[in-house]
Chain A
């Protein structure tokens, strides 16, 4: 197993190296004037020339690449051309907001998707099964930004149930800010015993979390249903029923445990997908996370940030895959790590 982990880590490093090189080259190929982004759109040639030198952009591309890689290894991911903040610091600063959103969405996906999948498998061909199957397809296929705008217009604009944007009421965040412990508003408010603020944070989380949860919920429900159908046709399930075990126990303990491995893979992949899926959600809901950072960087051609987020996303994706493979081996003894 250690050998397997070692090989995976090595291949991950090679992948990250390739990604870093490709993004660096692409950043130099696209037509853009980084110095102009840095200093502002009205800057004169003399000022742009000064900044070009200051940023080291007057050096040859290979020299710039070597300097970039050297700094990367030292933990310096460069600075944003638009906001001047360090890229890694900017990512880490926004990470809790994004993670809070993704974890909430994944919690909804698992809490809703798994029971629905089990229920649909138990009642194959009946109306509830049809509803779950159609609902899953809708959740998976509906463009996330469109769903976001619809929910925003209906649940917030029309019904006024929840706020349309942001993480926290502005008055609260300015006049009565939550003490910072983890960066997760829900947890920090709970630690501080600020229940009204906890409610406000949760209220702001509802729309983006539901929107982001649509895709993984559909996927989890479909995968759970398919795996459960396979398992429920197995001999040992029939034997259990013959022995008079209660249906609830058969479904939730015997069948689901064995059917969960493929679902776990889907959950892992969905988690990784949400790292980028959150871009649109954060844009629609003005959620101050990595997605918003990335969107602004793309619009400004702020290539140090684009490269940093690409690298960070790749690290996240590879790590999640590794963890999922390990968990799968733990859950299902038939899976061997080779």
Chain B
């Protein structure tokens, strides 16, 4: 049977991106460019989500879906391989991007050249989806570049001073990272002579660990820049602050998720370097602590959210670094949750920006009376990210704490708990200065955000509550992915087919 769902999930947004300008040109004659482009993007992303979801039943049944491009068999041709881990990340990427597409319908209403925005949005999605589904290392690099270049362009989309500054910073740092990845891949190819991840995994096992340190370090640095691991985070606060809020949500929810996936896949499943875990745990700890401390002092909501996003990546790295089954489970669960509540919070910030025109905490206040729904949704997101019990953040953070104690690193867990309290502190500060307190006179006539923007936010908030009340549901969703990480030989066997 020919396995088409993986390639469809990549081709849909890729061709959609190139069709968008053509459709825009045609629909411009009927003066419906905005609506047609927007809904076209929504349709494509939802179709992609359904395609990914259609693979669910088979993969959760323990199968690995392999698609061979052009019919070439693995060590020579490019393969797309989907196991439990790929599927989880693909679901997150597709879900976040379709919600962002719906949100953009109204949010980007005041901007010109909406067709280019939609095309770039679809390209970022195509890149992230490609990273997620491919089984070939160089192919992963190419999709990584597609995702990165389009996200640089999206960050600088409005071409104002702030977005251009953030865009060029992101671009210089990001391109350095991707060239390091290319160098790492070149070194690996020189050593092993193969580019299929499964084949590399098999052959790297026979090479002395000391020989692969340099490519491993290059790849980890490259992916580390994409997930804004401290000390490689310099681009993140600027980019998240200056990008349109819908794009901040996409960056936090989809591209960092794809970057972290690449990190897990390459380090654990290709190099089999479980010994690197301790370094990850330490980096995770530093990222978590510094991210939270810097978030405390921010006066701009989106910048605060950016630092909090860095801090949450620290939690995920920490769990990944423990290298145990429970650690992976907690991390992947937190990765899912992080995509949910971080997208929600950035969308709330976007709603405020849309109605008020600023996200500076000093200039806001008392908006709870004007925007009660946004206030409620922001509160749900903020409590979830701080790990308050009935919400989803609690379940995943708790799993990470327990994993730390079981792995004999109770100190790490203790610091993580303290940072969780700090997270609550800066989010309470944000809630207080935006929605409570004195309302400045000029904010008296602010209205509630439009329903099209509220809809994706509500959906995310409901997910926060559902995954919090029924954590076993989330664990069930994550368990196949965690099983896939532990089952390296199964992946190799499935992709290479016993060659």
A, B from the same assembly: no
Listed in ascending order, the chain A residues whose CB lies under 8 Å from chain B are: none
